[in-house]
Amino acid sequence: MSSDKRKKESDQPELPIEGAKPVPPKKTADANGNGADHVVAETVEAVVHKPFDPKQLGIGLHTRVDRGFLDYASYVIRDRAIPNLADGLKPVQRRIMWALHEKDDGRFIKVANVVGHTMQYHPHGDASIGDALVVLANKRYLIEGQGNFGNIYTGDPAAAPRYIECRLTELARTEVFNDSITDFIPSYDGRNKEPVTLPCKLPLTLMLGTEGIAVGLSARILSHNFPELLEAQIAILKKQPFKCLPDFTTGGLMDARDYQDGKGTVKVRAKIKTKDESTVVIKEIPPTTTTESLIASIEDAVQKGKLKVKSINDFTSEDVEIEVRCPAGVEAEKLVDALYAFTDCEVSISSRIIVIKDNRPVELTVSEVLRENTDQLVRILKRELELREKNLLDELHYRTLERIFIEERIYKKIEQCKTNEAVCAAVYEGFKPFKKELIRDIVDADVERLLQVRIRRISLFDINKHREEMERTKADLEMTRKNLKNLTKYVIGHLEALLEKYGPLYPRLTTKSARHEEVDVKAVAFKSFKVAYDRESGYVGYKVSGEEFKLECTKFDKILLVFKDGTYKVTELPEKLFVGPELFYCGLPEREKVFTCAYTDRKASYLKRFTFGGTIMNKAYLCIPDKSRILFFAPETPKVLYVRYKPAPHQKINQQTCDPAKIEIKSPKTRGRQISIKDISSVTADPTRGWDEKAATTEIVFV
């Protein structure tokens, strides 16, 4: 091997392992091959002894995973979960509608057949197709069902697809499809073609409403009333203000103060009527609930003690009817408030309008969606008018050709022609004298169509009838051109015709309310918990069998505990709390409630009145000085307190009375007024307990 050849080969990069550095130039062998082994050995050593770097592999793997995840996320967002702004449909819904359109002959079709036909376009199985079709049918606008399509009130599922039938509604046939202006793409397997989007002339995005969870975002579009959307589109074209609020198929009462044009929330209540003094009936339920889930929420609230119910009866069939009976002593009106406060009879629903626009997800408001839909409606109607104008011109042109072809007996000139070229040339030649009467120049397609005219058509040709048809075609053409010039007026007329035809068929179901009366949860809560104290065991709570401090409480109440050493604290409603045998008082805490307390610190005794005010939960406080002992503690202010002293030498007065009302009301930390320095045996508000009516009694004068 020559040195030049070896030099040329050695110039090629040698990178057998990813990440290996290029081998520096080596000394080449001479003409006899001397040094060649040395060169190879150095090259192999440089490659083999290069350490493997796992980071190089990691970078490639991360890139692949990131790219794959982004592709998956993009697919889920655009082709599964989020509706397209153009027609308001998710891909599976669009494919169902297209399959129905292809099979539509005006008669009902087995849902199983529709599902099977849709699977030519949808790659995700028959279960998702069947479920989506049932949902569309229950929306009422696009698909008419026959059979058991489930119950939106009870949540009962639809029958199997082989038992139920469906077909397109008239609204869908006329306002959703137009094959002439539909763009198509190949289906997932390349065997068929499916529409990119349907040329929809309806604001389906807001009519149907939808929920979709994709990767990193979710959409929740509330359904709106169809006639109100049409009125809003007319207002947009007339440049007038408008406002649209949701409307739900389950009805209910709606408070939309916080709707914020589709970026806020609405509160929806069940419609509850008072049947009699002890019975209420739920007639309409909020969306996102069923009669079963609503009853479950009522039972859960009863179990937790938030309300009291005697019985619940569900008579729902075609309409909702849930009868709730009150227990003895509970008014029906109070039960209604409690149902709104503690059950799913009132729900709050958030709205977030995210749609696919120009192949990207965007967040819009109701007004923006309606304006986009209205602009699209104008474009579609314009394209339809332009297409109709073209078709009318073609029809008028052909009718003119047909009249001249028959009246001027041009067909006679082709009788002697023996080739197709000669026939076509004869037709072209025959029309030359009438060129000025033609709308446009004659082309091969026109000649081919004329040559297909049958002899029967020629022999029975009626010139008067032909002229009438020509006049009608000209009138249609003139009207079409007029509509194109006054496009906005034409679109408004189209919407008004829809409103007149379909307005009575789709009345508002959810009643709009300016605002709901706010329900005070604590005020309507039932006192279902009986708190008691067992001094022997030292436990207090609503699961304690005791005889002291029996309190009827609600789930939201707090408990005030006062002990003999003056310690007090406020705690949550206890189930079973150990406090020991030294509990002096248990009650409900009230910031402004006045308490009367007598205590002793072994040097003297004092009396005070105070309010507890605010406290921190479960924090211990003192209402008397440290190392003191409570002699008397009671809520409110007794009229008279009876004080008995312990016997002592030379003690003339062993009992006295006092009027606590003469002491001012202060905070728990106040010292109070001194009663006496004598040892007190007892302080009571009841004179019958150990009081000596014959003994000398004086009234304590507070200094």
Q: Angle, nearest 10°, between helix axes 444-451 and 366-407?
A: 60
Which whole number is the average pLDDT over 16-44?
A: 43
The pLDDT value recorded for residue 121 is 94
Amino acid identity at 266 = V
Residue 602 has which token pair?
């072994």
Order of strands, sheet of 165-168, starting from the edge strand that comes earlier in the sequence? 109-110, 165-168, 143-146
State what percent of residues in the chain have pLDDT above 70.
87
Task: Give the mean model confidence (pLDDT) for residues 68-92.
Answer: 86
Confidence of residue 667 (pLDDT cuts 50, 70, 90): confident
Structure confidence at residue 282 (pLDDT): 94
Instruction: Give the strand pairing for 539-541 and 583-587.
Output: unpaired
* Amino acid 7: pLDDT: 42
Query: Which pLDDT score, from 0 to 100, does residue 54 have?
Result: 56
Report the CATH architecture of 375-511: Orthogonal Bundle (1.10)
**Cα–Cα distance, 555 to 574 (Å, whole number):** 10
**Looking at domain 83-200, which of 1.10.287.130, 3.10.300.10, 2.40.50.140, 3.90.199.10 is its CATH number?**
3.90.199.10
Cβ-Cβ contacts under 8 Å for 62 (sequence gap 6 or more): none
Residue 99: per-residue pLDDT: 96
Of the pLDDT bands very low, low, confident and very high (cuts 50, 70, 90), residue 457 is: low
Q: Say which residue, 324 or 525, is predicted with more confidence.
A: 324
Per-residue pLDDT, averaged over 62-91, amounts to 84
> Among 257-266, 271-280, 415-424, 571-580, whose mean pLDDT is lowest?
415-424
Distance CA 142, CA 121 (A): 19
The residue length of the chain stands at: 703
Which position has the higher pLDDT, 686 or 559? 559
pLDDT at 41: 45
d(CA 450, CA 443): 11
CB-CB contact of 277 with 142 (8 Å) = no
Cβ-in-10-Å burial (0-12, 13-18, 19+) of 34 comes to exposed
Q: What is the pLDDT of residue 33?
A: 44
Catalytic site residue from 163, 490, 502, 621: 163
Count the alpha carbons within 13 Å of 680 in the hemisphere toward its beta carbon.
Answer: 26
- pLDDT, one tens digit per residue, over 459-513 is 666 777 878 888 899 999 999 999 999 999 999 999 999 999 999 999 999 998 7
Catalytic residue list contains 163: yes
**43: burial class by Cβ within 10 Å (0-12, 13-18, 19+)?**
middle
How far apart CA 194 and CA 651 sit, in angstroms, is 110
- CA-nearest of 206, 229, 306, 288 to 556 is 306
58-62, 80-84, 504-508: least confidently modelled range:
58-62
Q: Which residue has the higher pLDDT, 65 or 324?
A: 324
Assign 3-class secondary structure to 176-214: CCCHHHCCEEECCCCCCEEECCCCCCCCHHHHHCEEEEC
Q: In Å, how far are 7, 545, 548 from 537, measured between CA atoms?
A: 102, 10, 12
Closest CA to 618 of 573, 578, 579, 572: 572
- Secondary structure in 3-state letters for 217-253: CEEEECCECHHHHHHHHHHHHCCCCCCCCECCCCCCE
Distance CA 489, CA 26 (A): 86
Region 98-111: mean pLDDT is: 95
Name the band, by pLDDT with cuts 50, 70 and 90, for residue 669: confident
Distance CA 313, CA 352 (A): 36
Higher pLDDT, 690 or 173: 173
Distance (Å, whole) CA 590 – CA 643? 28
Whether residue 336 has pLDDT greater than 70: yes
Please tell me which residue, 450 or 487, carries the higher pLDDT value.
487
Per-residue pLDDT tens for 195-245?
Answer: 999 999 999 999 999 998 888 888 999 999 999 999 999 999 999 999 999
φ, ψ for residue 270, nearest 5 deg: -70, 150
Kindly give the interhelix angle for 126-139 and 111-118, rounded to the nearest 10 degrees.
Answer: 120
How far apart are the C-alpha atoms of 356 and 353, rounded to whole Å? 10
What pLDDT was estimated at residue 618? 85
In this predicted structure, what is the pLDDT of residue 694?
67
Query: Quick one: average pLDDT of 71-79?
Result: 79
The tokens describing 460, both together, are 């029975």
Lowest mean pLDDT segment, chosen from 5-19, 576-590, 645-659: 5-19
Which pLDDT value is given to residue 429?
Answer: 85
Q: Please, which residues bridge with residue 246 across strands? A: 224
Mean pLDDT over residues 48-58, rounded? 53
Under DSSP, is residue 631 helix (H, G, I), strand (E, B) or coil?
A: strand
The residue that leads in pLDDT, 139 or 7, is 139
For residue 434, the model assigns a pLDDT of 86
Strand partners, 673: 607
Q: Is residue 39's pLDDT more than 90?
A: no
Average pLDDT over residues 74-86: 86
Contact 153, 285 (CB under 8 A): yes
Nearest to 666 by CA among 583, 564, 597, 588: 597
User: 339 and 195 in contact (C-beta within 8 Å)?
Assistant: no
Q: Residue 343 is which amino acid?
A: T
Structure tokens at 696: 């000398």
**Using one digit for the tens of pLDDT, what is the confidence trace for 202-215?**
999 999 999 988 88
Q: Where are the domains of the chain?
A: 3-48, 83-200, 375-511, 527-582, 590-703
Q: Mean per-residue pLDDT for 134-154? A: 94
At 314 the pLDDT is: 92
Task: Give me the pLDDT at residue 449, please.
Answer: 83
**Are 83-200 and 375-511 the same fold in CATH?**
no
- Give the long-range contacts of residues 253-259, CB within 8 A, separation 24 or more: 253/284, 253/510, 253/511, 253/513, 253/516, 254/510, 254/511, 254/512, 254/513, 255/513, 255/514, 255/515, 255/516, 256/512, 257/514, 257/515, 259/351
Contact assessment for residue 232 and residue 244, using Cβ atoms and an 8 Å cutoff: yes
Q: What is d(CA 596, CA 606) in angstroms, rounded to the nearest whole number? A: 11
DSSP states of 672-688 as a string? -EEEESSPEEEEES-TT
pLDDT of residue 363: 94
User: How much is the pLDDT for 398?
Assistant: 86
